[in-house]
Structure 1
Amino acid sequence: MSAGIVFSANDAVLSWTLPFLTSLRAHNPDIPLALIPFDADCEGVLDLAGRFGFTVFEDESFGRLEAIGARLELGHSSYGPHWFRRYAAFWGPFERFAYLDARQVILGDLTAFVEATATFGIDLAYYDTELDQVYAPGPMRTRFLREGGARGFNSGRWASRRGLFTVDDFETLVEAQMTVRSELNPRNTDQAFINHACDAHGVRMVKISDLLGDTVSSGWARQKGRPYRDEEGVWRLWDHGGNDHRKRLLLMHWAGYQAGDLLPNGRLLRHFGGRLPVRWSRLARNCLATNRTMRRLAGRPE
Structure 2
Amino acid sequence: MTNGVYILANDVVQDQLIALLNSLERNVGADLPVCVIPYDDRTELCRQATQDRPQVQWFDDAAILEKWETYAAQIWQAHPTAYAGWQQRGVRGVNRLGMHRRFCCFDGPFERFIYLDADILAMGSFAPFFAALDHCDFVTYDFQYKDLSHVYDVQASQLTEVFSRSRLETEIFCAGLFASKRGLFSDQQLATLLNQLQAGDAAILYPNGPDQSILNYLVMKSNIRAINLARSLPAERRTGCCVTSPHFIEQDHVLFDQGEPLTYLHYIGVGSGYFRQLCEGQNIGFPYRDLFLYYRYLHAPEQRPQFSGSPRDYQKPAQSKVQRLLKKVGLAAR
Give TM-score scaled by structure 2 length. Answer: 0.72
1:140 partner letter: L
Q: Which has the greater radius of gyration?
A: 2
Give the match for residue 294 of structure 1.
Answer: none
Aligned positions of 1:73-92 closer than 5 A: 74=83, 75=86, 80-92=96-108
Within 2, Cα distance between the matches of 1:202 and 1:132? 21
Distance of aligned partners of 1:228 and 1:142 in 2 relative to their CA distance in 1, 3 Å threshold: farther
Within 1, Cα distance between the matches of 2:148 and 2:310? 32
- Structure 1: any 5+ residue segments left out of the alignment? 238-244, 288-302
Q: Is 2:214 the partner of 1:201?
A: no
Q: How far is the alpha carbon of 1:112 from its aligned partner? A: 2.5
Aligned CA RMSD, in angstroms, stands at: 2.9
Q: How far is the alpha carbon of 1:263 from its aligned partner? A: 2.5
Q: Deviations over 1:270-289 (max 9, x none)?
A: 121269xx9xx8896256xx
2:294 partner letter: H
Instruction: Give the secondary-structure state (helix, strand or coil) at the position aligned to 2:52.
Output: helix
Q: Is 2:73 the partner of 1:54?
A: no
Partners of 1:131 and 1:151 within 8 A in 2? no
Distance of aligned partners of 1:256 and 1:176 in 2 relative to their CA distance in 1, 3 Å threshold: farther
**Residue 160 of structure 1: which of 180, 183, 199 is its match?**
180
Q: Is 2:311 the partner of 1:285?
A: yes
Partners of 1:135 and 1:152 within 8 A in 2? no
Give the match for residue 159 of structure 2.
Answer: 140
- Structure 2: any 5+ residue segments left out of the alignment? 77-81, 275-284, 314-334
Q: Deviations over 1:177-234 (max 9, x none)?
A: 242333221210110001001111111111124445454443110024123227xx76
Distance of aligned partners of 1:200 and 1:2 in 2 relative to their CA distance in 1, 3 Å threshold: same
Give the match for residue 44 of structure 2.
Answer: 43
Give the match for residue 133 of structure 2.
Answer: 117
Give the match for residue 264 of structure 1.
Answer: 287
Give TM-score scaled by structure 1 length. Answer: 0.79
Aligned positions of 1:1-302 closer than 5 A: 2-27=2-27, 28-52=29-53, 53-59=55-61, 60-71=63-74, 72=76, 74=83, 75=86, 80-118=96-134, 121-128=135-142, 129=144, 130-137=147-154, 138-141=157-160, 143-145=162-164, 148=167, 151-167=171-187, 169-178=189-198, 179-213=200-234, 215-229=237-251, 235-237=255-257, 245-260=258-273, 262-273=285-296, 285=311
Give the match for residue 298 of structure 1.
Answer: none
Instruction: Give the secondary-structure state (helix, strand or coil) at the position aligned to 2:296.
Output: coil
Partners of 2:9 and 2:118 within 8 A in 1? yes
After the TM superposition, which parts of structure 1 deviate over 6 Å for at least 4 consecutive aligned residues?
Answer: none
Instruction: Give the secondary-structure state (helix, strand or coil) at the position aligned to 2:164.
Output: helix
Identity of aligned residues (%): 25
Distance of aligned partners of 1:56 and 1:222 in 2 relative to their CA distance in 1, 3 Å threshold: same
Within 1, Cα distance between the matches of 2:165 and 2:49? 46
Q: In the comparison of the two structures, how many residue pairs are matched? A: 273
Q: Deviations over 1:137-180 (max 9, x none)?
A: 34434652357466221111000011111355335423422423
Partners of 1:134 and 1:188 within 8 A in 2? yes
Distance of aligned partners of 1:168 and 1:80 in 2 relative to their CA distance in 1, 3 Å threshold: farther
Within 2, Cα distance between the matches of 1:283 and 1:68? 50
Within 1, Cα distance between the matches of 2:132 and 2:289? 29
Instruction: Give the secondary-structure state (helix, strand or coil) at the position aligned to 1:51.
Output: coil
Within 1, Cα distance between the matches of 2:96 and 2:9? 13
2:249 partner letter: P
Distance of aligned partners of 1:166 and 1:85 in 2 relative to their CA distance in 1, 3 Å threshold: farther
Q: How far is the alpha carbon of 1:81 from its aligned partner? A: 1.3
